[in-house]
Amino acid sequence: MSGKGRWFSLLVAGTLVLVLLASCAPPAAAPAPGGEEAAPPAEQKVLRVWITWGDNPAQLQSLFDKYGEANNVRVEVNSPVDDDKVIAGLSGSQPPDILVLGGPDSVGTWAREGLITPLDDFLAGGEVDLNDIFEAPLSQCKYQGKYYCLPWGTDTYALFWNKDLFEDAGLDPEQPPQTMEELVEYAKKLTKFDENGNMVQVGFIPDFSWSHLGLYVAMMGGYWYSEDGTKILFTSDPVVNALKWEQQFYCDYNVDEVLRFTSAFGGYMSPDNGFYAGKVAMMVEGEWQPGPNFIQKYKPELYYGVAPFPPPQDHPERKNTNLVSGTVALIPSGVKDKAAAWKLMAWMMSPEIVAEEMVANFNLPSSKKAAEDPRFHENEKFEVFLKLMADPNAKAPILTPINAEVETELGQIEEQVLHTCADPLPLLEEAQARLQPMLDKALSD
């Protein structure tokens, strides 16, 4: 083929390609009635929810998808979110619309720093019935007269005991200790050593799997803050006596041997958990333990009981004292469309949604109407926690703007008292002297 002929053939082929491409292109938008072009579809609004817990993110996303479908929005759930990301998100330019925390410990601090939104104006609209929320979990959200969060389910703690180990020790397996003093005696009978002096079973570890100092202080008749949250009461008798009561479970034995024995326990969520494995006879734990994700999953054959933690012998009126604290939801101050965030939060607080989520998590419902759901009453051990939450002696922890600093200090003191058998009072005096001016300043800012 000549050069001219080859160029002619290329021209014809190119023309055919252009014709084919034109025939495959999408049709142009049809003009709107009246001759105007139709507007492009509006972009769907996105609401972002961050949750600091969540063993099943897919279940949480599926729950919030129901809200999205009903309200023509897209809800993006991020779970579980690391604490470091939460703090960065709160102070950044694009915070989540709703932040769900595992507990209220930081609420007072963040309220003081202006990082979270007071909810009182929204609550005045009546979308959320505060009378439907149990008093103890609701009170944990109130800081200096304003609500900065709302409880979305909650937790409390009780005494678990291994009935097989009770029988082996000659104790009635159906009769847990009735007083804190009796618990000490039971623990001695349930603690065992081999012929070489090695601990092979322990009756009770007061800070297993984490600190329960707040519960013990409440049982002793107080707390480490005054009722109005303006004074630190570290040196009060309830705090000192609670630490001394805990101390005997370490210091009446060989502390190093207790630490050696407990350090060999398996993971919290594993068959080798110290209580599941029969190495700890009694423990303080939460309502989720009898559920499908814990004992039912890792040690279904475990023969155990659950009862309210016992009061001191001289104060039977403190029976059923328990600290109620758990998941809270809040709206960061930097959220641009707070009305949309509040609408989503109000939906979360409806009894139907509270029931659905807390049944899925085996956690306590914060809504009284939700608590009537028969699914919460199928497990008699879970029923123990439901009654504790509603008991007149149920309390919420007192919050202050320096909660984080105070709890860190108390944690260090508790560890020193238990692991070195130190006298708690001098440590508490020194810490109180240092923290009270910090609290005074925070309250006056």
pLDDT grade for 70, boundaries at 50, 70 and 90 = very high
Q: What angle do CA 46, 365, 130 make, to 5 degrees?
A: 75
End-to-end CA distance of the chain: 92
Per-residue pLDDT, averaged over 208-218, amounts to 96
Predicted confidence (pLDDT) at residue 35 exceeds the cutoff of 70: no
pLDDT of residue 41: 60
C-alpha–C-alpha distance, residues 413 and 253, integer Å: 20
Prediction pTM value: 0.84
pLDDT recorded at residue 31: 46
Average pLDDT over residues 11-15: 42
The DSSP annotation for 294-350 comes to THHHH-TT--EEEEPPPPPTT-GGGTT-EE----EEE-BTT-S-HHHHHHHHHHHTS
pLDDT > 70 fraction of the chain, expressed in percent and rounded? 91
Q: Is 395 left (phi over 0), alpha (psi -120 to 50) or beta?
A: beta
Tell me the C-alpha distance between 153 and 53, whole Å. 13
What is the mean predicted confidence (pLDDT) over 140-169? 95
Q: Do residues 147 and 120 touch, judged by C-beta distance below 8 A?
A: yes
Report how far residue 277's alpha carbon sits from residue 275's, in angstroms, rounded to the nearest whole number: 5
Work out the percent of the chain whose per-residue pLDDT is above 90.
Answer: 80
Q: What is the pLDDT of residue 191?
A: 98
Beta strand 74-78 with 394-395: parallel, antiparallel or unpaired? unpaired
28-32, 317-321, 362-366: lowest mean pLDDT where? Answer: 28-32
- pLDDT, residue 365, reads 97
- pLDDT tens track for 71-124: 999 999 999 999 889 989 998 889 999 999 999 988 988 998 899 999 999 999
Longest dimension (CA), the chain: 115
Q: Summarize pLDDT for 328-350 with one digit per residue, the tens.
A: 999 999 999 999 999 999 999 99
Stretch 382-407: mean pLDDT = 92
Residues near 421 by beta carbon (within 8 Å), at least 6 away in sequence: 247, 250, 251, 255
Task: Provide the 8-state DSSP code for 395.
Answer: E
CA–CA distance from 364 to each of 140, 155, 354, 387 (Å)?
15, 6, 9, 10
pLDDT for the residue numbered 445 = 77
Question: What is residue 399's predicted lDDT score, i.e. its pLDDT?
Answer: 84
The overall average pLDDT reported for the chain is: 91
- Confidence (pLDDT) at 22: 40
For range 234-262, the mean pLDDT = 97
State both tokens at 85. 């990301």
Is the pLDDT reported for residue 49 higher than 70? Answer: yes
**Coil, helix or strand at residue 417:** helix
Mean pLDDT lowest for which of 39-43, 75-79, 193-197, 435-439?
39-43
Calpha distance 209→265 (Å, rounded): 10
Q: Quick check: 326 and 153 in contact, CB under 8 A?
A: yes
**Which helix H or strand E contains 162, and what residues bound it?**
strand 157-162
Q: What are phi and psi of 167, to 5 degrees?
A: -60, -45
Task: Give the model confidence (pLDDT) of 263-288 as tens digits.
Answer: 999 999 999 999 999 999 999 999 99
Tokens representing 284 are 């303080």
Of 6 and 154, the one with more pLDDT: 154
pLDDT bin (cut points 50, 70, 90) of residue 2 is very low
